[in-house]
Amino acid sequence: MVAPRLMLAAPSSGSGKTLLTCGILKALKQRGLKAASFKCGPDYIDPLFHRKVLGVPSRNLDTFFTGTETTRYLFCQAAKEADISVIEGVMGYYDGIGGDSVQASSYELAKVTDTPVVLVVNAKGMSLSVLALIQGFLKYREDSRIAGVILNQASAAVYQRLKERIEQELSVSVFGYVPRCPELVIESRHLGLVLPEEIEDIQKKLDNLSKLLQETLDLEGLLALADTAPHIKYQELAMHQERSLLELKSIKTRAQGLRIGVTKDEAFCFFYEENLELLTKLGAQIVPISPLHDQNLPEELDGLILCGGYPELHAERLSGNTSMQESVRERILGGIPYLAECGGFLYLQEHMEDMDGKLWKMAGVFAGTACRRSQLVRFGYLTITANGEGQLLPPGEQIAGHEYHYFDCANNGKNYHGRKPSSSREWDCMQGGERYAAGFPHLYYYSNPGFVVNFLQMCSRYQATVRREEA
C-alpha cells in the first residue's frame, strides 16, 4: 500500500519533538490534508496533543509490545486512509530498552516501518558543533534512515549559515528552523507534559505555531520526503491478523453486544487507542464513563475498564462523588468483570493521597491507602505472567506493559509476576482472579490478545447470568 510517511526524531528528550509535531500536523490540516499521527513508545500524553490538533485518535507504535509484523499491521490500519502519516519519536533516536540497546527505540521503529527520519536538533548555544552532532547520528548506524534535519531554537541568521554548511558537508537536507518561542512552550509536571485541556487558548496557540512553521519550515520538502517512503505490505498482514483474532474469538467467547464501560475524563484519560479498537474488533461496545462527572454507572454494563490518568490531581472531586464510588464498588462486589490500571487501581483503594499529601476516601474495593512517594516507584517496560491458575492470563503466557508511577499502595498484589526485559529485576504485582486484574502496570492488549478474549469471555458469562438475573 502507498503510505507517505516520516518520523520526527531527536538526539534527546526535551528537544521540542511534541511541539513541532503538533505544529506540523496543524499546518497539514490547514492545507486540507488528512494526516494520521503516531507516537513511538509507551506514551499517553503526547497522543492527546496530536488528538487535540487533528480531532481524531492518535496511536502508539512500539516494537517491544508487538514486534515487527503486528507493528506494521497497526501502522497500516491507521494510515490506510491518510494522505500522510507523521510519527513522533521517543527520547533520543537510538535510545532503547535498558539504556544499552536500540530495541524499541525510534530507530528500530523507523526500520520496521521503513520510514524516512527528520532529526530535530536543539541548536541553542551551538554553531558548527551542530554539524558534529548530526554527523554522529548519521554515522552511528549505516542504515540510520535520517534524511533531513530541522534546527530548533535557532535564529534566522544562524540558520542560514548552518543550513549551507550542513547540506554541503553532510549531504543531508535541512527542512527549516524553529525560532525560540517561550510563549508556545508546553509545561511539564511529575508524569510529563500537562494535558491539552489545561492549557489556556490551546487552539489559538496551535494556530500561531502553525502559522510560524509555515514561514520557517520547508513543508513542501517534508511532503516530498514523505512521498519517498517505500510501499508497505498490508493485505497479507491484515489477513493474518484478522484470521488470528477470529479464531481466538470463536474459540473463547461470543462478544457481540457486550457493553464495556471505559473511564474517559480529566482524571482517567490514559489509554491506548489500539486497546479500545481491539475490544471493538472482538465485538464489544465501548461505553464511556466518568468517575468525576457521572453519578452512577449505566445499568447495562457487562464489564469495566478503569484506565490510568491523574486521579491525584482530582482527588477531592473524586472523593466527593460518593454515589459513583458506591456504584463502582457495588458493581464490582456484585461480580462484574473488570480491569484497572495505575490511576484506576488508585481509585479502587480505600483512601488516596493527593499531591499535597492530604488523604481522600476512594471507592474502597481494596483495603489500604495509595500514598505518593518522593521519586518514581517503578518506570519502564515489563513482561507479566500469572502466578498460578485462576487468572485472566493462563500460566506460561505473557503480556507486555509498562509502569510509570510516583504512587504506591499497601498491597499491590501477588497474582501476577513482573519482570524487566533488560535486567534481573522482577517482582510480584497486580491483584487478580478469574474475572479481574488490577494493578500499576499498563497493559498493551495486542501483545497478547488472548488476555482480552479471556476478559470478554468472563463479561459474556456475567451478561448471561448476573445481569440477566438483576433484570
- For residue 379 the three cell numbers come to 518506570
CA distance 468 to 295: 23
> What is the spatial distance between Cα 175 and Cα 160, in angstroms, rounded to a whole number?
11
Q: Cα(413)–Cα(420) distance, rounded to whole angstroms? A: 17
Q: How far apart are CA 8 and CA 18, in angstroms?
A: 9
Task: Tell me which long-range contacts 254-258 makes (C-beta under 8 A, separation of at least 24).
Answer: 254/283, 254/460, 255/282, 255/283, 255/284, 255/453, 255/456, 255/459, 255/460, 256/283, 257/283, 257/285, 257/463, 258/283, 258/284, 258/285, 258/302, 258/303, 258/456, 258/459, 258/460, 258/463
Read off the C-alpha cell for 326.
458506591
Which residues have a catalytic role annotated? 342
Q: Give CA–CA dist 235/354, Å, rounded.
A: 49
Beta bridge partners of 304: 261, 338
d(CA 265, CA 267): 5
**Which residues is 7 bridged to in the sheet?**
87, 117
Within 260-342, residue ranges assigned H as helices are 273-281, 315-320, 322-333
